[in-house]
Amino acid sequence: MFETACAVAANGALSDTAFSRGKGRSRQEDRTVEVFPVGDALAGTEWQPFIKTIIRVTRRTLLHSAATGLWDQRGEVAFYVSSAAGFPATAWAAAIRGHWGIENRNHYVRDVSCDEDKSRIRDNPGIMARARSFALNIMRKNGIANVAQALWSGALSL
């Protein structure tokens, strides 16, 4: 599938493209989202009825080093496939960025604030992960912006 996605992106007809730039925390990230209709590239394969669009996201990141004052450049190309067709590149870009928002708002907070990586639970750890996510959702619903501070003040009031 990866080879097919690369071939469609290299030889296929580009239907839409979007560019965005994000700056902050001593870094600059440029993202280019390109949308390609699959067309006949998957004809005769088991994937033909399911995959309608291939999305290529090219990220170029410049990281500023405070120690040296130099900029370090990193690059990455990611491919996404979808059964949906006809969406503009800006919609795909928002959906892809939104997915990483879930990672940052949930998993990262569970790892850092709840010390989930240090958990000694070995039998059914998924149950406790869901309980932590449930607690985080309750905190957010109640307007808590800083989860670590809320956990600390909650521990002090016991």
pLDDT in tens, 49-102: 899 999 999 999 999 988 888 999 999 999 999 999 989 999 999 998 877 766
- Residue 104 has a pLDDT of 67
Residue 20 lies in a domain: yes
- Residue 123 has a pLDDT of 84
- What is the number of domains present in the chain? 1
- Residue 83 has a pLDDT of 92
Residue 146 burial (C-beta neighbours within 10 Å; 0-12, 13-18, 19+): exposed
* Kind plus residue range of the DSSP H or E element containing 119: none
128 vs 54, higher pLDDT? 54
Residue 25 lies in a domain: yes
Residue 134 lies in a domain: no
Residue 6 lies in a domain: yes
Angle at 106 between CA 132 and CA 65, to 5 degrees: 130
Most confident of the ranges 14-18, 147-151, 154-158: 14-18
Angle at 92 between CA 41 and CA 21, to 5 degrees: 120
Residue 21 lies in a domain: yes
Q: Domain range holding 14?
A: 2-86
Residue 98 lies in a domain: no
pTM (2 decimals)? 0.67
Residue 14 lies in a domain: yes
